[in-house]
A and B are shown apart, each in its own frame.
Chain A
Amino acid sequence: MKVLMFTWEYPPKVVGGLARHVYDLSAILAKQGIEVIVITCDFPNAPEYEEKDNLRVHRVNCQIPADDFATWAFSMNFRLKKVAHEIAKKEKPDIIHAHDWIVAPAAISIKHCHRIPLIATIHSTEYGRRRGIHEDYQRMIHETEWWLCYESWRIICCSNFMRNEVSSVLGVPYEKIDVIPNGINVEKFFNVNVNPLVKQTFAPNGEKIVLFVGRLVPEKGVNILIGAAPKILSAVPEAKFIVVGNGYMKDRYLYDAHFLGVAHKFHFTDYIDDGTLLQLYKLANVAVFPSLYEPFGIAALEAMAAKIPVVVSDVGGLAEIVDHDYTGYKAYPDNSDSIADGVIKILTDEGYANYIAKNAFKKVREVYNWYRIAEETVSVYERVLDEYKHTDWAKN
């Protein structure tokens, strides 16, 4: 089986979780004997073409001047398409797999010109990201998402929450959507040695670390964690908050922390490298994910894999990953008080903390591993190919 994979980000070009998802998925599929051809945008100093066993990566020159992201995104499809048509003609792939709206025009073009069935993974929707469609810029993306779903044979979503959202917001038949949760590699959290320097930087006086990892954008809800800080500190004075990530809301959050008089207990790290992050996971006592919108919640999964108890808000994919009082603490959404209760409980009750961390690790290992994801993805491919056999396209 040969799969043509479209994604606009692929390592080393990493913007959000999409790059890592496609990277891991492609690698595991290739490992299972499926030929994977990834078509993606170029990146400074990254090779134009890479090949490793069954996995081939084409990085297409997408340097097109544009005033805004969407114009660039739509224009770069012309470039992706040009290269993809040549590859499709030569390689004759069985399946096209597109990730998110950004690559829709190219993927749909290949579908029709070469008569190959198209499958799309919808990682999030514009409606969800912006909590509604408020202007034409968003409506354009929203309609493009609809178009991609319309043209796709089947849709893959990462959680039941996303399945409901795609179905109701984009008008996709519920039955057309398969749910395959994301996964992580648990192994990378083993045998992490904490550099004393890292400990010195983040917890010099043996503070209890409350960790947040994510982009600093409104939907991640860092302000809710800041709002919870005074209550947490009054119960656990030795707590310290470490916020990993960057985003356009950072200044606002710094202001919020100052306003509540807890700024001295907050450490905003910006982006940090993977090695340091793994050590931070080792040091942390609790990880908090107070999101308002979360299609999946891979960061929570990573914390669980690192055996840290988690406090999450009861929204989206997070709500599906965490079982309350069993694999984590589920707080009310958009509620600082509730987040504070969870953090205090974990920081003060060691038995409880160990219990949920242990259960969470077990769940991550069993449910969210890449082999199971590869298996389920392949079965979607096989189902589509089987259905495709009976169509006019296959007969001609």
Chain B
Amino acid sequence: MLNVLILTWEFPPKVLGELGYYVRELAIGLRKVGCEVQVMTLDDYTYFDEFMGVKVAHIANPVKTHFNLLTWLSTLNTEVERICSEYIYNGGDVDIINVHDWHLIPTGITLAKTFGLPLVLTFHSTEEMRSSHDSNFSQAIRIFEREGIEEARVIIATNEDVANSIKRLIAKDLDIKVIAPSDDAWISKTLAVYMSVVEK
């Protein structure tokens, strides 16, 4: 069965919004249908554990002091890349990478480029939806979203609004699958998207 590497900046116990719970449900669901699931997420210190068959690496930022999200993510992404490549070099199988929201998109791009792995991006919201003003900060985030979209094989949006927002972000014909976590067939539809990418 499929080996899935999930990258998310939120995962219980570190939860800021609903994203963390969605990703946990997805990981457990995928595990139940027989996938091997490895989650890479963040915490204040690095530790590795397992939750209902899902392996989780909680990764700490090597540079503790930061003064905004972008600088924080720069050093953090490198650390996540380190743990991911350790995982892969030590025999961890990965068939597909699924990045949730934009924070760990750089790691997704790095792994896709380095190990030739297919990248799936899941957007639960976009910067355009979260922030209406055009600060430098917000523009930088849109740049990362755009670069992730360019590298990704498939984009999953959790609803139509998100899908439309992604289309506004980049002038390109995109294959965006809309799969809502509230959908009863959420897991099987997501798996079908993974399989379509891997089989290609």
Chain A hits for B63, CB < 8 A: 140, 143-144, 147
Which residues of A164-218 are within 8 A (CB) of B?
none
**Stretch from B13-21, B51-59, B80-88 at the A interface:** B80-88
Q: Are B139 and A65 in contact (CB under 8 A)?
A: yes
A378 smallest CB distance to B (angstroms): 28
| Distance A64 CA – B141 CA, assembled complex (angstroms) | 10
Residue from A65, A81, A82, A113 having most chain B Cβ neighbours under 10 A: A113
What are 26 contact pairs spanning A and B, CB under 8 A? A66-B70, A71-B136, A75-B70, A75-B74, A77-B78, A78-B106, A81-B106, A81-B110, A82-B113, A88-B114, A89-B113, A104-B78, A105-B74, A112-B85, A115-B85, A136-B65, A136-B66, A137-B67, A140-B66, A142-B65, A143-B64, A143-B65, A144-B75, A147-B62, A147-B63, A150-B62
Known: A78-B74, A115-B89. 5 other contacts (CB 8 A): A65-B136, A109-B78, A140-B65, A142-B65, A147-B75
B144 on the interface (CB 8 Å rule)? yes
Q: Given the complex of chains A and B, what is the CA–CA distance between A358 and B62 in angstroms? A: 50
The answer for the CA separation of A127 and B41 in the assembled complex, in Å, is: 32
* B137 part of interface (Cβ distance < 8 Å): yes
Q: Which residues of A contact B143 (CB under 8 A)?
A: 64
Q: How far is the CA of A393 from the CA of B74 in the complex (A)?
A: 25
Instruction: Specify which chain B residues have a CB less than 8 angstroms from the CB of A112 in the assembled complex.
Output: 78, 81-82, 85-86
Q: Does A258 contact B (CB under 8 A)?
A: no
Give 1 or 0 for each of B78-115: 1 = CB within 8 Å of chain A CB: 10011001100100000000000000001001110111
- A residues in contact with B62, CB < 8 Å: 147, 150
Are B136 and A66 in touch, CB under 8 angstroms? yes
Residue from the set B64, B78, B86, B109 with the largest chain A CB neighbour count within 10 Å = B78
Q: Is the interface of B mostly helix, strand, loop or mixed?
A: helix
In the complex, residue of chain B having the shortest beta-carbon distance to the beta carbon of A85:
B113
Nearest-neighbor residue (CB-CB) of B134 within chain A: A65
- Among A66, A89, A136, contact of B67 (Cβ-Cβ < 8 Å): A136
Q: Is the CB of B114 within 8 A of A66?
A: no
Interface string of A67-78 (1 = CB under 8 A from B): 100110011011
A residues neighboring B (CB under 8 Å)? 64-67, 70-71, 74-75, 77-78, 81-82, 85-86, 88-89, 104-106, 108-109, 112-115, 136-137, 139-140, 142-144, 147, 150, 396
**Chain B residues near A77 (CB, 8 Å)?**
74, 78
Are A113 and B137 in touch, CB under 8 angstroms? no
> Using Cβ atoms and an 8 Å threshold, which residues of chain A touch B81?
109, 112-113
Q: Which residues of A contact B8 (CB under 8 A)?
A: none
Known A64-B140, A64-B143; judge A71-B71 contact (CB<8 A): yes
- Whole-angstrom distance from the CB of B105 to the nearest CB of chain A? 9
B127 at the interface (CB under 8 A from A): no
Give Cα distance in the complex from A113 to B115, angstroms. 9
Q: Is the CB of A89 within 8 A of B114?
A: yes
Query: Given contacts A71-B68, A140-B65, A140-B67, are A108 and B82 in contact (CB under 8 A)?
Result: yes
> Nearest Cβ distance between residue A113 and chain B, in whole angstroms?
4
Instruction: Specify which chain B residues have a CB less than 8 angstroms from the CB of A86 in the assembled complex.
Output: 113
Closest B residue to A114 by CB, please name it.
Answer: B114
A71 contacts across to B, CB distance below 8 A: 68, 70-71, 136-137, 140
Is B128 located at the chain interface by the 8 A CB criterion? no
A114 partner residues in chain B, CB cutoff 8 A: 114
Tell me, rounded to whole Å, the shortest Cβ–Cβ distance linking A75 to chain B: 5
Q: Is B158 an interface residue (CB 8 A)?
A: no
The 6 nearest A-B residue pairs measured at CB: A74-B74, A65-B136, A112-B82, A74-B71, A139-B65, A85-B113
**C-alpha gap A81/B82 in the complex (Å):** 13
Complex Cα gap A144–B86 (Å): 21
Please indicate the chain A residues that have their CB under 8 angstroms from the CB of B126 in the complex: none
Please tell me if B125 contacts chain A, counting CB pairs below 8 Å: no
Q: Which residues of chain A have C-beta atoms less than 8 A from B78's C-beta?
A: 77, 81, 104-106, 108-109, 112
Contact pick for A67, options B74, B75, B113, B136, CB 8 Å: B136
Tell me which residues across on chain B come within 8 A of A115, comparing CB atoms: 85, 89
The one of B89, B114, B135, B140 in contact with A75, judged by C-beta atoms closer than 8 angstroms, is B140
Contacts of A140 in B (CB 8 A): 63, 65-67, 71
Q: Tell me how far the C-beta of A296 lies from the nearest C-beta in chain B, rounded to whole angstroms.
A: 26
Which residues of chain A are within 8 angstroms of B82 by Cβ–Cβ distance? 108-109, 112
B119 to chain A, nearest CB (A): 13
The answer to whether B114 and A85 touch across the interface, beta carbons within 8 angstroms, is yes
C-alpha gap A147/B66 in the complex (Å): 13
Q: How does the 8 Å CB contact mask read for B142-174 relative to A, with 1 for contact and 0 for none? A: 011001000000000000000000000000000
| B8 shortest CB reach to chain A, Å | 18
Task: Give the distance to chain A from B72, nearest Cβ to Cβ, in Å.
Answer: 8
Shortest C-beta distance, A228 to chain B (Å), equals 40
Q: Report chain B residues within 8 Å CB of A89.
A: 113-114
Residues of chain A contacted by B190 (CB below 8 angstroms): none
A75 to B76, CA, bound (A): 12
* Distance between A243 CB and nearest chain B CB, rounded to angstroms: 34
Distance in Å: Cβ of A70 to nearest Cβ of chain B: 6
Q: Which residues of A contact B70 (CB under 8 A)?
A: 66, 71, 74-75
Closest residue of chain B to A86 (Cβ to Cβ) is B113
